[in-house]
Amino acid sequence: MRKLLFILILTVFYFFSVFFVLADELADINHQLENLQRTFNDIKKAADTNEVALANLNKQLGQIKAKVADIEAQIDKKEIEVKQGEQILSYQKELLNERARSYYKNISKSTLSLITLLTAENLSTSLKNFVYQKSLVDEDRKTIIKVVTYVNNLEDKKVSLQSEKERLSTLKTDIDKQSQFLAGEVASARKYQGELQQKIAELTAKQQQLINQRLASLNIPRSAGTSARGCSDDRGVDPGFSPRLAFFTYGAPHRKGMNQYGAWGRAKDGQNEEQILQAYYPNMSLKKDYDQGVQISTTTGWSGSIEEYVKRIYEVPDSWTDNNMAVLKAQAVAARTYALNVTGNGSKQICTTEQCQVFQSDPKGDNWEQAVNATVGWVLMDGGGAGFTQYASTHGGYILNLGKFDGRVGNPGNFSELN
């Protein structure tokens, strides 16, 4: 008796030692993941803000470049006009000199004409000569003003455009520097984001490995179809020795997505397949015409269309036909979607065990095949692709990724209230 008790104590001690070592390591990984995710979110937020600022700067830069190009074209045009104007000016200067000489001559003539007008015997002829000389003087004055104004305007416009070009060029240089700086900041942030994502992926894989190690010792089926009795309270089972200790868990808790036993309870309660899927995957939309020609291959060498693949899934009992096979149909959609997601629409292989989803080379047939045929092409979409539709035998009543209990209303008061 003492020997048996000693062995039992050693067994319990070993079990708890391993359990707490795994628990400590898992807690440490969870803490690291939380810190990394927080850092990742902060960097992503900053990078997103910088990207918006960069986009605005690049937009401004584009507008300034277009304006500078337009001004340069105007300056080129004005330079051509100035050259033409200088040629005209050269001619106008000669004309101006001639007009100037004529002007002074005409002033003299105009003065003489006035005297002649006053002393002439033929008043009519004298009056005509006076008016003619006066008009020549006025025309010379107008020509001089016009030439000077024309040349001044050309020079003023050229100087103004050149000044605007220099101002915009300086602004362009400043914005270009800011744009390059922000582009570098965004690139560095995105690079660091990638490194963090890699670390998060590695820690997540390690986290799942530790969870799997902890769950493996419980000997609880993850899929409802791999056990006729499913999950049950076996604390009353006689191990064949006494005294004894009982260790138990309510569910196989990765606690994400569909709860197969919970879905069965929903079907019994009158929910159809679409309502069940909506309950467990509320953020996904149901597409009913997905490509049926996608080819799936398994790690065991089988390959075929997605529909033929789903016919070979052994995840829930064929006898769960409540409410027009609602559970079987919901499971068919979840299994189809899961396979498309993890294989990248058929680009990668998928395993055939509970680590992925239970697959056998022979079709399951019967009610399961009817459910598959009834939902052919039905896939849950998350954004532009098939969603990650995780599921398990039971969650122990709590859906971790949705943060809610899998019950009718509110928080349960005891185990019997859980689906």
Which residue is listed with tokens 């009056």? Answer: 127
Asked whether residue 153 is assigned to any structural domain, the reply reads yes
pLDDT band with cut points at 50, 70 and 90 for residue 89: low
DSSP codes of every residue in 187-250: HHHHHHHHHHHHHHHHHHHHHHHHHHHHHHTTT--SSGGG-SS-S---TT---SSSS------S
Residues 206-229 pLDDT 10s: 877 776 666 665 555 566 655 544
Same domain for 262 and 204, yes or no, is no
pLDDT band at 37 (very low <50, low <70, confident <90, very high): confident
- What percentage of the chain has pLDDT greater than the value 70? 67
Terminal-to-terminal C-alpha distance of the chain: 42
The answer to whether 289 touches 377, Cβ cutoff 8 Å, is yes
Cα-Cα-Cα-Cα dihedral sign, residues 334, 266, 317, 259: positive
pLDDT (0 to 100) of residue 201 = 83
The number of beta carbons lying within 10 Å of the beta carbon of residue 334 is 31
Asked which of 148, 181, 216 is the last residue of a domain, the reply is 216
179-193, 230-244, 363-377: which is most confident: 363-377
Same domain, yes or no: 206 and 254: no
pTM: 0.49
212 and 249 within one domain: no
- Confidence (pLDDT) at 323: 95
Cβ neighbors of 214 (< 8 A, separation 6 or more) are 19, 22, 23, 26
| Same domain, residue pair 66 and 14 | yes
Output the pLDDT for position 248.
57
Do residues 53 and 155 share a domain?
yes
User: Does residue 19 form part of some domain?
Assistant: yes
Lowest-confidence pick of 40-44, 94-98, 230-234, 262-266: 230-234
The answer to whether residue 290 scores a pLDDT higher than 80 is yes
CA pair distance 332, 310, nearest whole angstrom: 7
Hey, which bits of 22-91 come out as E strands?
A: none
Three-class DSSP category at 63? helix
What is the predicted pLDDT for the residue at 161? 74
* Residue 143 domain boundaries: 2-216
- 416's CB contacts (< 8 A; 6+ apart) are none
Q: Taking Cα atoms as reference points, which of 172, 132, 158, 18 lies closest to residue 75?
A: 158
Could you please report the per-residue DSSP string of 246-296?
----SS-TT--SEEHHHHHHHHHTT--HHHHHHHH-TT-EEES---TT-EE
Same domain, 86 and 144: yes
Which residues does 164 contact at the CB level (< 8 Å), separation at least 6?
71
Distance CA 76, CA 261 (A): 80
Placement of tokens 């006025």 in the chain: 138
Quote the number of domains for the chain. 2
pLDDT in tens, 93-131: 676 667 556 656 655 555 555 555 555 555 566 566 656
Q: What are phi and psi for residue 244, nearest 5 degrees?
A: -145, 160
Kindly state the percentage of the chain with pLDDT values over 90. Answer: 28
